């Protein structure tokens, strides 16, 4: 049994942040500690406090903090004076990553994708995906979905549903139609059929789309998980109407939902896939846009970026693929832990008349309001558990623990969550979604 010591409650001196850091900072406001080291599923502050991490850098640390295999691979590479910054030059580190991706991920899944190294953020991978779709099809419109989140740059932000994020754009966010996601109108309304009617009706006002962009599980939008049948129908619809199917796997990929790609086993293959977050394996900036070879119609340098050649990330990503994805054992561990999370959350939901969301180790519980969820996350942090919220009103308390967490640590964190949900009466703020 794991006992988490109560954090000291002493807040750090924040004068330098107040004086020099932008007001846009968010997580630091609701987790007022100064962290100085981390290992596996634990973070430590400079006052001696220890915290169990159920946030994982918003699913950027699926393999935990400073995994020893990944850390050693990077240290060895640095000591050997390996290339750090390489633009898009050929390097040993890039070649090893591509070969490992091909042999351990693509070929076993019978996937034939070209890999495009974009700027090292998820939003840049999405920008590249929608630019490519528009270039290939000659169309402008992208169909995205209610409660979707795809990034903060203008193209990706136009595909995002969140009003607060969209409000920061300062310009119209155009050429995107937001259609209802699976279950948006309740289980009795077939939203795939609604979209098909709109696309088939020449008087619907909906232009022929370049792409349909979807998350299989909506990470920031409330952990809504689309059914395989719905996703297959959307994919078929895209093909019927000459659009490209883009799956945003930035948060749901790299094992978070149980398989390397979140769409595995669902009976369809996307035209384009975006990846980032846990792709580097160690929290280093790294993003990819994968697409069918015949879609590779870019002119040289047409979409580039100074940091698309992050060779340190190539090294740790290669080490992660080799260590975790050489066989099926890691997937089996994720399935078992995901089932444990689901069982515990469903028991809580039954006790309190709530509901659960998500898939794999990307799960949450709807506590009914943002105020209650804020009270829960704040109380969890005071007890040494880092956890955030999701959803249109931040009403979902979201579990994103590292995939490598052991059963005792997982149970300890869920115990804290269960206690805090039981105690929650409402509070003014908590750990809001990214």
Residues 145 and 293 in one domain: yes
Alpha-carbon distance of 185 to 238, in angstroms, equals 22
Final residue in a domain of this structure, among 274, 304, 324: 324
User: Can you tell me which residue has the tokens 């943002």?
Assistant: 370
**265 lies in some domain:** yes
Residues 282 and 224 in one domain: yes
Residues 311 and 363 in one domain: no
Q: How confident is the model at residue 3 (pLDDT cuts 50, 70, 90)?
A: low
Alpha-carbon distance of 91 to 117, in angstroms, equals 13
Final residue in a domain of this structure, among 324, 359, 393: 324
**13 lies in some domain:** no
Residues 284 and 365 in one domain: no
Residues 241 and 386 in one domain: no
Residues 303 and 259 in one domain: yes
- C-alpha dihedral, 279 to 281 to 285 to 287, nearest 10°: -10
Alpha-carbon distance of 378 to 429, in angstroms, equals 8
Give the residue-averaged pLDDT of 366-372.
96
- Check: CB of residue 326 under 8 Å from CB of residue 104: yes
Residue 8 has pLDDT above 70, yes or no: no
**Could you tell me the CATH number of the domain that includes residue 135?**
3.40.640.10
Given 3-state DSSP classes, what are the helix, strand and coil percentages for the chain, each rounded to the nearest 5?
40, 15, 45
**201 lies in some domain:** yes
Alpha-carbon distance of 31 to 43, in angstroms, equals 12
**46 lies in some domain:** no
Q: What's the domain count of the chain? A: 2
**Could you tell me the CATH number of the domain that includes residue 400?**
3.90.1150.10
Quote the strand ranges of 140-269, DSSP E.
141-145, 176-179, 209-214, 244-248
In this predicted model, what pLDDT tens digit does every residue of 344-365 receive, in sequence order?
Answer: 999 999 999 999 999 999 999 9
In this predicted model, what pLDDT tens digit does every residue of 41-82 receive, in sequence order?
Answer: 999 999 999 999 999 999 999 999 999 999 999 999 999 999
Give the domain extent around 371. Answer: 329-434
Of 319, 432, 314, which is closest to residue 371 (Cα–Cα)?
432
Residues 369 and 235 in one domain: no
pLDDT of residue 347: 96
- Check: CB of residue 50 under 8 Å from CB of residue 44: yes
**7 lies in some domain:** no
**40 lies in some domain:** no
In this predicted model, what pLDDT tens digit does every residue of 306-351 receive, in sequence order?
Answer: 999 899 999 999 999 999 999 999 999 999 999 999 999 999 999 9
**82 lies in some domain:** yes
Q: How confident is the model at residue 13 (pLDDT cuts 50, 70, 90)?
A: confident
pLDDT of residue 12: 78
pLDDT of residue 338: 98
Instruction: Name the pTM for this structure.
Output: 0.95
């Amino acid at each position: 049994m794991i006992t988490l010591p109560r954090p000291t409650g002493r807040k750090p001196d924040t004068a330098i942040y107040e004086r020099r850091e932008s007001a846009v900072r968010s997580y630091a406001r609701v987790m007022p500690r100064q962290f100085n080291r981390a290992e596996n599923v634990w973070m430590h502050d400079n006052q001696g406090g220890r915290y169990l991490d159920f946030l994982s850098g918003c699913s950027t640390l699926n393999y935990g903090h400073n995994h020893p295999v990944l850390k050693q691979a990077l240290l060895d590479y640095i000591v050997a004076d390996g290339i750090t910054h390489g633009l898009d030059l050929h390097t040993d580190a890039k070649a090893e990553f591509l070969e490992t991706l091909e042999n351990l991920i693509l070929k076993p899944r019978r996937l034939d994708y070209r890999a495009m190294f974009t700027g090292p953020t998820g939003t840049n991978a999405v920008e590249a995906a929608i630019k490519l779709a528009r270039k290939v099809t000659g169309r402008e419109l992208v169909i995205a979905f209610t409660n979707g989140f795809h990034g903060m740059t203008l193209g990706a932000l136009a595909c995002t549903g969140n009003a607060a994020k969209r409000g920061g754009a300062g310009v119209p966010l155009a050429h995107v139609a937001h259609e209802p996601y699976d279950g948006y109108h309740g289980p009795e309304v077939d939203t795939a059929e609604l979209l098909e009617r709109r696309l088939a009706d020449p008087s619907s006002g909906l232009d022929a789309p370049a792409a349909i962009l979807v998350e299989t599980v909506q990470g920031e939008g409330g952990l809504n998980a689309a059914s395989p049948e719905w996703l297959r129908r959307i994919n078929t619809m895209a093909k019927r109407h000459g659009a490209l199917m883009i799956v945003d796997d930035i948060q749901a990929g790299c094992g978070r939902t149980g398989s390397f790609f979140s769409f595995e086993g669902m009976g369809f293959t996307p035209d384009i896939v975006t990846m980032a977050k846990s792709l580097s394996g160690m929290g280093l900036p790294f993003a990819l846009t994968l697409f069918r070879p015949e879609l590779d119609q870019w002119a040289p340098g047409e979409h580039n970026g100074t940091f698309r050649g992050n060779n340190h990330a190539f090294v740790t990503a290669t080490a992660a693929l080799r260590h975790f994805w050489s066989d099926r054992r890691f997937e089996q561990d994720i399935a078992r832990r995901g089932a444990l999370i689901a069982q515990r959350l469903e028991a809580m939901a039954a006790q309190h008349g709530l509901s659960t969301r998500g898939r794999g180790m990307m799960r949450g519980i709807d506590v009914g309001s943002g105020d209650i969820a804020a009270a829960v996350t704040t109380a969890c942090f005071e007890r040494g558990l880092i956890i955030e919220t999701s959803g249109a009103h931040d009403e979902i308390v979201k579990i994103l623990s590292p995939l490598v967490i052991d059963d005792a640590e997982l149970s300890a964190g869920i115990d804290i969550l269960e206690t805090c949900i039981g105690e929650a009466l409402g509070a003014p703020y908590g750990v809001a979604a990214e």
